[in-house]
Structure 1
Amino acid sequence: MLVLCPLTAQAGTLLRIGNGPEPESLDPQRMSSVSALNIARDLYEGLTRIGADGEIEPAAAWGWQIADGGRRYTFDLRPNLRWSNGAALTAQDFVAALRRVVDPATGAPYAQLFAPIVNAAAITAGHASPDTLAVWALGPSRLQILLKQPAPYFLGLLAHPASFPIYLPALAQYGRAFARPGRLVSNGAYRLEAWRVESQVALQRNRQYWDDAHTQIDRVQYVAGDDVAAQLQRYRAGELDVTSEVPLVQAPRIRADEGSELHVAAYLGSYFYGINMQRAPLGDHLALRRALAMAIDRELIVDKVMNGLALPAYGWVPPGVSGYQAQLPDWARWPYARRLAEAQRLLADAGYSAAHPLQVEIRYNTHDDHKRIATVIAAMWKQRLGVQATLVNEENKVFFVHRRLGLTQIFRAAWIGDFDDALSFLDVLRAGNGRNDEHWHDTAYDALLQRASSQSDPAARAALLEAAERRALAAQPFIPIYWYVSKHLVKPRVHGWRDNLLDVHYSKDLGVDG
């Protein structure tokens, strides 16, 4: 049984953050949820970080040089970096982390992010040893990384928690159990004080952090709970300073009562329905997939179901990605009446009618909003196409296992970009990607991504990626529904909050009034 340290009363400035579901781990190489990643950015620090406006900034590394046509990166660490226990932090700690994340024995959910590094793919596939990864410590404060091809987004990858350094003595002593109170040694602005499961994770200011002089908040509490309505109640009661999101059904009242505290901004996230391409009849018939996609009234969903807290989606890559023009199918520009008429024609031509209706299954994980959206879409398909949709609700863990195993037909899905680049979305559909639960394989699509990865000219690279997205949209292995916006309530006592496309916020950059 896992027993974690209790919380203790302490003095100093305190920031209380609603953080959604319980984090599955505080091990930076093994975590995957947004809630865990949020905490990791306070506990640890990578070579780079996401700036307040979403730009890449130096972090543990004060600078870097790029050579060999964009393939070789050399990083210089800041002087006198320390772990939270006072031990010296060196380049070897970053080497160990990167080799650990691609090691299949680690089971890192984000291992494929680092495929651009020489030998990473072979290591992840079990064909090479982790120590062959092309990452080297050139000295205590200098690190070098060699890529297979230029990757203009690579500096952004190094701001992802999966690349954060690892304290090797704790890993050697405790193994996978090192990321717990009393054991976890970190290098970020905060250290782990306590963890009360299904309640909160408490952080204390790390006085060993190189930039501690500019840290304003002494303590941070990440409060767990996936009941968004309950989180709002706690916010209104003064028990939270920031919410992870807001309940959609209460959006009108929130705008009226807390309008100045509501932060809504563009976000690198997509909500969609995946289609299992291995299962008939949808996997065999493009016309059926397209008809279902065309018949969804996204504007109605955003307006009535989402209460305006989203953007209608017709493409795969969200708008606003740096250096990229989001792609749309031609029919996205048609009036809804024309789209619906075409959807009805496609179904009729495929042999479906009121006497012989198409029957489908929509599977979703437990959440009130997922249920509401599925119910609305099923009603649209029934009333406008005669399609009979069965709704299947599953607990989160069961749902994701069924997705991976292909035991689905149509399933609720979402993707949040890990870095500000179109490839963060497009790579999910590549054959062999562990997140490709649609099981869609297209050699031409994969070839376009491969060509883009070896292209150093930004315009030519963008053109190849845009061509890949158009090919995916034409094949329709998914149905875009809406693009996320970030939506937080932030108390007036919190200052320094800056909205950005990745919705990344470091507690060290914030302050609170007493």
Structure 2
Amino acid sequence: MAACSSEQSDQFPVKSTPEIREDGTTVLRRGNGAEPESLDPHQARSVPASNVLRDLYSGLVQISPGGDIKPADAESWEVGDQELVYTFNLRENLHWSNGEPLTAQDYVYSLRRSVDPVTGSPYAQLHAAIANAKAIIAGDKPPQALGVRAVDDRTLEITLTKPTPYFLGTLAHSISYPVYRPAVEAHGASFSQPGNAVTNGAYKIESWRVNSMIAVERNREYWDDANTSIGRVEFYPITNQNSALSRYQAGELDWATSVPISQYEAIKKYIPAQLHAEPTLGVYYYGLNVKRPPFKDAPELRQALSMAIDRRTIVDKITRGDEIPAHGWIPSVVEGYAGAQFEWVKLSDGEREAKARELYEKAGYSKDNPLKVEIRYNSGEGNKKIASVISSMWRSVLGAEVTLRNQEWKVFLDNVRQGNTEAYRLAWIGDYNDPNTFFELMNSKFGLNGTGYASAEYDRLQEKQAHMPDGPARMKTMKQAEAVLLADSPIIPIYFYVSKYLIKDYVKGFEGNPLDSYYSKDLSIEP
């Protein structure tokens, strides 16, 4: 251990001591929220999993520290044939962590696997723009029909069905990472476990102790290893924000990925240089399962519940972290879009609540026949407080009878995916900086649409705008799609995110970006 100065205050002590091993290896200790559900790039669906996967794998492109697209495994690319054919030129020195060469054929295999129904990827729809992908996902064509081919070992060609303005952004997502075919074929579902995993990113997995720590170590076969500084990264699954803060203050974490509401003002006062608050492509929302009662065929009820929530009170009194009340679905930080809003947003609080009661009664509910509904959420101080406040608003404004149910993250996600919910708390962090990353979630065919929402008109508008060039016509179509979604109300947006991190001052190179995408290789530890 190499000592470093401690930023101390009687009111808010923080120990600042980086871990540096005897051989000089620097260690980055990251809080990571919930335990990742999978480290298979094509199976993962959560932010905690993505944080680890960005260190283990490298895609054709990656997100720069500032949030832009930059070359990764592909050193360059050309776009031709009316913006339908992308030709990627791979770097000469690409290798897997076991030293084997990585070629364009590895990308062909992996992209096919990502849309194969056998894989069952929740993000398969992210590749819908690639020729034949939709038919493959639906089971109507074999994976070999996907519009990808290896021209030679260092040249990959991807053909799209229609021009797609955000396509490059999807290639930075884990669904587009290559996987090592011999490991997949030898180990099946266990190919991503320590001892079996072969990766191509800046790090390789060393160990995974469930509910304790995932450790990754520097991959010397990585094409840009010369510019990687940190030798080891440890990811700690800590869902309790107060516990994460305590470990951060004790010097056991260098990076805490969340901040307790109750301590936010103290943090801003005593260690402002260690606090990073970044507006993010993210929305905190409640999903309503429209496949089963009470929300099936009940748009008035869904609208009433949305209108009964005072979002300003939630961000001012509960989250208290500069979040933005969400009166639409698309965050304002998204490039190229000025979103639609609920029609009732300009009403006074009294008028809004009166309209909510009117819709509630129109849906068939009253004081004598109250709605009985369960709110399901995953562990976390903020989630619990918000669920309690929303349940109180539904009771006081509408007279609903609300029960709360807390579940561990993996169990919670499985229940959302299987439709075993009524109302549930979730968040969506954009996968690329384009409005479509939010619109696509609510498409009836998208694997992570846990509400079961299926609107032919919404799907038509969403799919139309996805292939239009940026400009007034696309903007108009997007607003039409959002208006349909807000009127149907299968989701209740609560607020838009401002991500808040605590990072020790000896961790250098951190630069906030709206995608919330960070790579440990871009950082260094300098005592």
TM-score (norm 1): 0.93
Residues 1:239 and 2:270 are matched in the alignment:
no
Amino acid at match of 1:254: I
Moved over 6 A (4+): none
Contact 1:357 1:386 in 2 (8 A): yes
The residue matched to 1:487 in structure 2 has which SS?
strand
Distance 1:281 1:204, change over 3 A: closer
- State the Cα RMSD in Å: 2.0
The reply on whether 1:314 has 2:334 as its aligned counterpart is: no
Alpha-carbon spacing, 1:65–1:415, altered in 2? closer, same or farther (3 Å): same
1:437-462 CA-partner distances (Å, limit 9, x unpaired)? 22222211111123223423543223
Per-residue deviation, 1:268: 1.3
Write the mapping of 1:420-431 to structure 2, written as runs, cut at 5 A: 420-431=433-444
**Residue 178 of structure 1 corresponds to which residue in structure 2?**
191
The 5 A counterparts of 1:212-227 are 212-227=225-240
Confirm or deny that 1:386 pairs with 2:396.
no
Equivalent residues of 2:301, 2:360 under 8 A apart: yes
Report the counterpart of residue 15 of structure 2 in structure 1. Answer: none
Match of 2:383 in 1: 370
| Alpha-carbon distance change, 216 to 379 in structure 1, aligned in 2, over 3 angstroms | same
Which of 277, 282, 288 does residue 275 from structure 1 map onto? 288
Unmatched segments (≥5 aa) in structure 1: 1-7
Q: 1:349 to 1:123 in 2, by over 3 A?
A: closer
Aligned partners of 2:241 and 2:381 also within 8 Å: no
1:73 corresponds to 2:68: no
Query: 2:114 is matched with which residue?
Result: 101
More deviation, 487-496/75-84 = 75-84
| 1:495–1:346 distance in 2 versus 1, CA, 3 Å | same
Per-residue CA deviation, residues 65-94 of structure 1 (Å, 9 max, x unaligned), is 111221110000112222222221111111
Which shifted more, 129-138 or 276-285?
276-285
Q: How does 1:26-175 map to 2 (within 5 A)?
A: 26-175=39-188
The answer on 1:434 being equivalent to 2:447 is yes
Distance 1:431 1:32, change over 3 A: closer
Paired residues for 1:281-430 under 5 Å: 281-348=294-361, 352-430=365-443
Q: State the distance in 1 between where 2:48 and 2:224 align.
A: 24
Among all aligned residue pairs of Structure 1 and Structure 2, give the percentage whose two residues are the same amino acid.
Answer: 47
> 1:248 touches 1:309 (CA, 8 Å); kept in 2?
no
- For residue 179 of structure 1, what is the amino acid of its counterpart? S
Other-structure match for 1:5: none
Helix, strand or coil for the counterpart of 1:159? coil
Alpha-carbon contact 2:77-2:87 (below 8 Å) kept: yes
State how far apart, in whole Å, the 1-side matches of 2:362 and 2:228 are.
64
| Aligned-partner SS, 1:464 | helix
CA gap of 1:282–1:219, structure 2 versus 1, over 3 A, is closer
Structure 2 counterpart SS, 1:283: coil
- Shift in Å at residue 384 of structure 1? 2.6
Distance 1:168 1:347, change over 3 A: closer
Unaligned runs of 5+ in 2: 1-20
Q: What is the letter of the counterpart of residue 231 of structure 1?
A: A
Q: In 1, distance between residues paired with 2:225 and 2:295? A: 56
| Cα distance between partner residues in 1 of 2:459 and 2:43 | 27
Tell me, yes or no, if the aligned pair for 2:125 and 2:445 is still in contact at 8 Å: no
For 2:375 and 2:348, the matched residues in 1 are separated by: 26
Aligned residues: 507
Deviates more, 1:361-370 or 1:135-144: 361-370
Alignment of 1:192-231 (within 5 A): 192-231=205-244
Query: In 1, distance between residues paired with 2:343 and 2:77?
Result: 43
- Equivalent-residue separation in structure 1 for 2:514 and 2:309 (angstroms): 26
**Could you report, residue by residue, the CA deviation over 1:115-174 in whole angstroms, capped at 9, with x for unpaired residues?**
111111222222221111111110111000011111111111111112111222322332
Please name the residue that 2:489 is paired with: 476
Listed as ranges, the matches of 1:9-20 within 5 Å are: 11-20=24-33
**1:261 & 1:171 partners in 2: Cα distance?**
41
Residues 1:40 and 1:300: Cα distance change in structure 2 (over 3 Å): same
Q: 1:261, CA displacement in angstroms? A: 0.8
Rounded to whole Å, the distance in 2 between the matches of 1:286 and 1:27 is 37
Alignment-derived partner of residue 6 in structure 2: none
Q: CA deviation at 1:370?
A: 2.1
- TM-score scaled by length of structure 2: 0.91
Asked if the contact 1:149–1:453 (Cα under 8 Å) also holds between the matched residues in 2, the reply is no
CA distance in 2, matches of 1:492, 1:396: 31
Look up the SS of the partner of 2:303 in the other structure: helix
- Asked if structure 1 preserves the Cα contact closer than 8 Å seen for 2:239 and 2:379, the reply is no
Q: What per-residue deviation string (whole Å, max 9, x for no partner) do you get for residues 18-54 of structure 1?
A: 1122223322222222112111111111000011111
Counterpart Cα distance in 2 of 1:413 and 1:21:
13
Q: What is the deviation of 1:430?
A: 1.5
The one-letter code of the counterpart of 1:479 is I
CA contact (8 A) 1:275 1:283 kept: no
Evaluate the alpha carbon distance shift between residue 409 and residue 185 of structure 1 in structure 2; reply closer, same or farther with a 3 A threshold.
closer
Counterpart CA distance in 1 for 2:173 and 2:35 is: 20
- Is the Cα–Cα contact under 8 Å of residues 59 and 176 in structure 2 kept in the other structure? yes
Q: Distance in 2 between matches of 1:401 and 1:184?
A: 25
1:467 matched residue in structure 2: 480
Give the CA deviation at 1:102.
0.8
Q: Distance in 1 between matches of 2:295 and 2:40?
A: 39
Q: Whole-Å Cα distance in 2 between the matches of residues 256 and 381 of structure 1? A: 35
Deviation (angstroms), 1:10: 5.9
